[in-house]
Amino acid sequence: MNTRRLESAIVTGFTIIVALIWVFPLYWALVTSLRSENRVVSRPGLLPDEFNIGNYADALFNTQLLTWYVNSVGTAVIVTVVVILISMMCAYALSQINFPGRRLLYLVVLASFMIPSQALVVTQFILMDQFRLINTWGGIILPQLIVPVTIIVYKQFFDSVPREMREAAVLDGGGDYAILFKLFLPLNWGITTALAIVTFIGVWNAFFWPFLVITSEDMMTIPVGITQVNDAFGLAYARLMSVALLAALPVVLAYLIFQRRVTEAVMISSGVKG
């Protein structure tokens, strides 16, 4: 019995060591960001030895980080809200109303799952140019509004709402919109927040499309903008790490605060947990 316990303790210890090695890059970024530029290039030790928040102030006020924050927050919030609304409405119709073309639409949703948007960037760009939306929030937002998996997840959840609840609401004279927003949405609030958080993280992190559709520096989102700091200032690693950590902060916080929701959303959307 005791050897079993020892074995178990060793495996646990090993797991923790691997996990700590796994987050070392983040630790190192943090330690670097708190050092002066001179200290950073003097081959310092692995332990934190300076707590210099000047780099952060520098990052916030001497780069366009704040502008990029505004662009990222604005576009990510809009995309998240619209994606949730569009998906919820479409899923409600698919799940609760027997309208002509319903099966076809469901097939389209499933098929859109398989469309790699990265392959479409050229023609999406041409389209955005025709709409005069290059270098605008609209240009960033519009092609990101289709997230088929949220429709599928919502449909799955709406399908499992008891029939009687809906029938009672219909008898009370509620229209479909009222039923969706006053009955189905509150019933599925948990999955809605979960989907919203992962959508937000995904949009915040989007790189390829915003990188193509935005060329002017003051319209850039965070992930695109921070690559410019590098170009503009040469190699100043302490400042660069401060910028990188500030860029990641909102999504890291969103994840840490809503950790269980994120886990739930990832598992449910990939279909490994219903």
Partner 1 sequence: MAMIENRRKRNLTAMTLVAPFVIVFAVFFFYPTIRMVQLSFTNAPLIGAGEWVGLDNYIRLASDRLFKTSVWNNAYFILLTVAPTTMIALAIALMINRLKGGMQAFVMVLFFLPYVLPVSVVTQIWAWMLDFQYGVLQPVLAALTGKPVAVFKDPDWVMPVIAAITIWWTTGFNVLLFIAGLRNVPAELYEASALDGASQFQQFTRVTWPLIWPVTALVLTLQLILQLKIFDQIYLLSGGGPFNSSYVLLMQVYREAFQLNHGGYSSAIATVLFVLIAVVSVLQFQLLRIGRSRQ
Residues 163-182 that bind partner 1 (CB under 8 A): 175-177, 180
Which positions from 23 through 62 interact with partner 1, judged by CB under 8 A?
Answer: 23, 25-26, 28-29, 32, 40-41, 43, 46
Task: Check residue 92 for interaction with partner 1 (CB under 8 A).
Answer: yes
Q: Report the Cα 131 to chain-centroid distance in Å.
A: 26
Q: Tokens at residue 67, please?
A: 């502008």
Nearest distance from C-beta of residue 140 to partner 1, angstroms: 12
Q: Which is nearer to partner 1, 123 or 216 (CB)?
A: 123
Which positions from 244 through 273 interact with partner 1, judged by CB under 8 A?
Answer: 244-245, 247-248, 251-252, 254-256, 259, 262-263, 266-267, 270-273
Query: Which of 15, 36, 62, 160 touches partner 1 (CB under 8 A)?
Result: 15
Query: Which of 126, 165, 168, 257 touches partner 1 (CB under 8 A)?
Result: 126
Query: Which of 76, 151, 195, 214 touches partner 1 (CB under 8 A)?
Result: 151
Which positions from 216 through 235 interact with partner 1, judged by CB under 8 A?
Answer: 222-224, 226-227, 230, 235
